[in-house]
Amino acid sequence: MALNKMQRDRQQREGGRRVALDAVRRRVEVVKDMTPSTPGPGRRQFLQGIAAGAGAVWLSAAPELLRATARAASCGAVNDPYRVLSSPEVAALDLLTELILPTDDTPGARTAQVVRFLDHALAGFAASDLPLFRQGLTDLDRLAGQRFGQGSFTALSPGAQVELLQSLETAGAPFFESLRTATLTGMFANPEYGGNHGKSGWTLIGFEDRFAWGPPFGDYDRE
C-alpha cells in the first residue's frame, strides 16, 4: 500500500527533476571555465598534520593529563612563580605570543595570560614539547645575533621580531607551528587551563559560554 503511493509520488516528481537537470546542464558551461580553487591546507589535513607532527601534543593530550593540568592551573595564583619557564623564557614568550595575537584596544595574548597557560601546559600535558620550546627560544636568540647583531630576541626592534618570526613560518619550523597552535589554544580553551583569562579570548571573538540557546540565533533568523 505504502509502496504504491511511493511509486506514484515518484512519478509526479520526475517532471520537476528534469527541469532541475536542465538547469544543471546550463551550469556546466560555467564550470568548464572555472579555474580550480587554489590548493591550501584542508581542515582535516591540517588536523592530520597536527596529529602527526608539530603541535600534536597541544591537541591530543591524554584526558588524565589534561585534568591534572587543569587542577594545577586552577590552584595557582596570579603572583605564583612559574613552574617550568625561566624569567627570560617568560619574557620572550610574552613577546612571541603578542606577535601572534597582539593586545590593543581588544584583548590579546597578554590579556588572556597565554604565557601562564603555556607554563602550566609545558609543566603538564604538553611537557614533551618543552625541549622544542627551549630550543626554539635559543635558536631565536642565535638568529637575533646572526642577522641583527643583538644578543637576544627580546632586544630586537618590533619590526625585526616580526621579520624573524615570519622567516620561521616560511621555513615551516616546527617550533613556529607548535607555538602558534599553543597560543591559539591558550587564548580560546576553557579558562580552567590557565589561559583565556576572564574569558577574554571568548570576548574577543564574540563567543558566549551560555550553552543553551533559542531563536533568534542570529541577525538572519527572521528573514
Nearest approach in angstroms of CB 65 to other proteins is 10
Contacts of 212 (CB under 8 A, 6+ apart): none
Closer CB to other proteins, 85 or 111, in the complex: 111
Nearer residue to other proteins within complex by CB, 23 or 77? 23
Sequence-distant contacts of 181-185: CB under 8 A, at least 24 apart? 181/50, 181/54, 181/55, 181/58, 181/59, 182/55, 182/58, 182/117, 182/118, 182/121, 182/126, 182/129, 183/96, 183/97, 183/100, 183/101, 183/109, 183/114, 183/118, 184/100, 184/101, 185/58, 185/59, 185/117
Q: Nearer Cβ to other proteins, position 149 or 206?
A: 206
Least distance between other proteins and beta carbon 103 (Å): 9
Distance between CA atoms of 82 and 133, rounded to whole angstroms?
A: 15
CB of 209 to other proteins, least distance (A): 7
Shortest Å, Cβ 138 to other proteins = 21
DSSP code of residue 61: -
Cα 25 vs. chain centroid, distance in angstroms?
41
CB nearer to other proteins: pick between 5 and 149: 5
For residues 13 and 142, which CB has a smaller minimum distance to other proteins in the complex?
A: 13
| Least distance from other proteins to the Cβ atom of residue 141, Å | 20
